[in-house]
Structure 1
Amino acid sequence: MTQVGVTLLIVVGARILRLGFDMVAGGAAPFALIYPAIMLATLFARAFAGALTATIMILYIWYFLYPLERSFKFVNSAGAFSVGIVIVTTVMTIAIAELFRRTAHHATQERDREIAERDLFLAEFDHRMKNNFAIVAGLLDLQKRRAREPATAAALETAQMRVDSIARAHRHLYRGTGQPGTVEIRDYLTDLCAALAESLFLQGGITLSCDSDHAAVPRDRAVSIGLVVNELVTNAAKHAFPGRDLGSISVTLRNRTEGGWRVTVADDGVGMPKDAALPEKGNGLGSRLVEAFARQAGGTLSTESDDTGTRVVMRLEA
């Protein structure tokens, strides 16, 4: 029924188009529209629709237009030869169109099969990666619970959060929503900030917000950006609000007009002491890690700090 419906639609469309041609050059090239019509019918509804379209149009033109109106008779042998050539060429056209349709259909099926296999492989790889990260995080958590020194427990907790940041980047990488090998940075940072707010017990008056433009960032750079954000947010949560119940930390990522991105982590805390090391100075493990992660991402850091808070900006070239 679908093939018959397509045939009738194409025949009617060809007839309407033929009427328009007849208004300009009446009776010229009566068989001209057969070939595009049967190609469309074959490509969209298989060879049967093409053959049915050819049969209807040839019989209609033969009887009503060529060579004598309302007659299947020929004036001479040349007319019969012309109709015979049209029939042979329409059969050839249908065969070629059907071969092309089957080839394209086979190629589409092969592509879909390869995509399904790729998705299956990525799902399996994603599952294994999640298990590996979960094992590492579990071992760190076990060691943290056994640690007797608060400093050791805090260091293990920080390491656990870094592992979680990397794991989240890989989860977003294999969701298959972006370009191959890239991470949708807005979704990743939103997910990361939500996890940081939960793990750092940010609640009540201390809030963490995230606002990011849409951008497809290469996997390795996204991991480095996440690690920088992880370090800066953790540092702000632990040191920016001593003795305070109110405060805010914000994470933003903006696309730069000249290309690349600008990542900002800011808080409205007490600011850094005059003699404290800024991230670019490279003193202290946390500062050295931020600097190392920023270099790994291909970015440069700048820090502003006063009694109204601290603002760290990382600029990344495209």
Structure 2
Amino acid sequence: MARIGELDLCDRLSPTIPVWVTQIAVGLITSGAARILRIGFDLVAGGAAPFALIYPAIMLATLFARAFAGAVSATVMILYIWYYLFPIRNSFRFENGAGPLSIGVVTVTAIITIAVAELFRRAARRATQERDREIADRDLFLAEFDHRMKNNFAIVAGLLDMQKRRAADPATADALGVAQMRIDSIARAHRHLYRGGDQPGMVEMRDYLGDLCTALSEALFLRGGITLTCDTDEASVPRDRAVSIGLVVNELVTNAAKHAFPGRDIGAILVTFRNVSGGGWIVTVSDDGVGLPEAPVVTGRDNGLGGRLIEAFARQAGGTLRTDSDRTGTRVTLELGA
């Protein structure tokens, strides 16, 4: 119904073409198309039901170009059929008293059809306008919400940065810096969510992870020989899962930057995001550092906060973690089902 409200040719062609010209043209086109079909029907049915095609013709004309176009189509069709087909060919004369009655009935039903089609067209137009207003209101609300959320994220990040600068204990300053990066990861997912993609509630992972890796590279002061590379497939992921994936990547890259290259100025960290045939995705964060310690890492209360957060974020994303490490580096894989 809303689509019909968008098909008003008078609005679409105005002011280039005057409304009345459009209406007459549409009336003539629909009546002409009906006459062509009438010729085809006559070859098969031999003139049966001469007025049958009037009603679809005038209905289409009215829906596309308003009531006047329907009236033009109806007038042309009735006069054409009256003169050429009914009741005496090539004449406006009637054989008997039933002829005028037939023409009168067709005229009245044509007027009723035009009225019904016009009422329907106006209802569809009102529905379309109401939908457009709702969309405009929604976009305004989302823009306001987006603006406020950006301000909130900026305030939180600013407070963390201020506390980090004032912290005398290096460990405290480091913890505040990590928290600031986590907030930034969530904020970036939010920004990509409200960029107006074709799929509401979805985040484009190529843009999001590329943006996140750029920010991490700058925040972790990865310069010179230590590089961070992001290689991702195109994929749209629901907002909540995208945020969890970004937080996992944030923690893993931060850990690699801090612990994978002790005493080294050269190294590489690679983040990949791949689509899996059959559904799902695989996220990997790998480095060519010294690898994990040979002693097993104990999970539980004594385990580091970063490790527990990674596991928690992976569960939130609906994925499972696998870690492979040796002297040539560490590779952490997050497998995500569809």
By the TM > 0.5 criterion, same fold? Answer: yes
Distance 2:266 2:165 in 1: 29
> RMSD value over aligned CA atoms?
2.1
Do 1:278 and 1:303's aligned partners in 2 also have CA atoms closer than 8 Å?
A: no
How do 1:25-36 residues align onto structure 2 when only pairs under 5 Å count?
Answer: 25-36=45-56
1:301 aligns with 2:306: no
**Range with greater deviation from structure 2 (137-146 or 269-278):** 269-278
Tell me how far 1:178 sits from its aligned partner.
Answer: 4.4
Tell me how far 1:278 sits from its aligned partner.
Answer: 8.3
Q: 1:58 aligns with which of 72, 78, 101?
A: 78
Do 1:193 and 1:209's aligned partners in 2 also have CA atoms closer than 8 Å?
A: yes
Tell me how far 1:240 sits from its aligned partner.
Answer: 2.0
1:248 aligns with 2:268: yes
1:200 aligns with 2:220: yes
Partner of 2:11: none
Distance 1:99 1:64 in 2: 32
Residue type matched to 2:119 in 1?
L
Q: 2:156 aligns with which of 124, 136, 156?
A: 136
Aligned CA distance change for structure 1 residues 246 and 231 (closer, same or farther; 3 Å): same
Partner SS for 1:92: helix
Distance 1:121 1:74 in 2: 66
Partner SS for 2:114: helix
Tell me how far 1:84 sits from its aligned partner.
Answer: 1.4
Tell me how far 1:299 sits from its aligned partner.
Answer: 1.9
Distance 1:237 1:206 in 2: 8
1:2 aligns with 2:18: no
Distance 1:79 1:213 in 2: 73
Aligned CA distance change for structure 1 residues 306 and 103 (closer, same or farther; 3 Å): same
Q: 2:113 aligns with which of 84, 93, 101?
A: 93
How do 1:48-197 residues align onto structure 2 when only pairs under 5 Å count?
Answer: 48-197=68-217
Residue type matched to 1:311 in 2?
R
Tell me how far 1:276 sits from its aligned partner.
Answer: 6.4
Distance 2:82 2:157 in 1: 80
Partner of 2:257: 237
Residue deviations 1:93-112, cap 9 Å, x none? Answer: 11111111111111111111
Distance 2:69 2:256 in 1: 70
How do 1:280-295 residues align onto structure 2 when only pairs under 5 Å count?
Answer: 283-295=303-315
Residue deviations 1:115-157, cap 9 Å, x none? Answer: 1111111111111111111000001111111222322222111
Residue type matched to 1:260 in 2?
G
Aligned CA distance change for structure 1 residues 282 and 178 (closer, same or farther; 3 Å): farther
Partner of 1:277: 297
Aligned CA distance change for structure 1 residues 192 and 45 (closer, same or farther; 3 Å): same
Aligned CA distance change for structure 1 residues 6 and 211 (closer, same or farther; 3 Å): farther
Distance 2:230 2:147 in 1: 28
Do 2:28 and 2:76's aligned partners in 1 also have CA atoms closer than 8 Å?
A: no
Distance 1:19 1:247 in 2: 81
TM-score normalised per structure 1: 0.92
Partner of 2:13: none
Distance 1:47 1:211 in 2: 59
- Any unmatched runs of 5+ in structure 1? none
Tell me how far 1:43 sits from its aligned partner.
Answer: 0.8
Residue type matched to 2:249 in 1?
V
**Range with greater deviation from structure 2 (63-72 or 243-252):** 243-252
Partner SS for 2:269: strand
Identity of aligned residues (%): 74
Tell me how far 1:8 sits from its aligned partner.
Answer: 2.4
Partner of 1:45: 65
Question: After TM superposition, which residue ranges in structure 1, 4 or more long, deviate above 6 angstroms?
Answer: 278-282
Distance 1:192 1:153 in 2: 22
Partner of 2:14: none
Aligned CA distance change for structure 1 residues 3 and 157 (closer, same or farther; 3 Å): same
**Range with greater deviation from structure 2 (297-306 or 210-219):** 210-219
Partner of 1:316: 336
- Any unmatched runs of 5+ in structure 2? 1-20
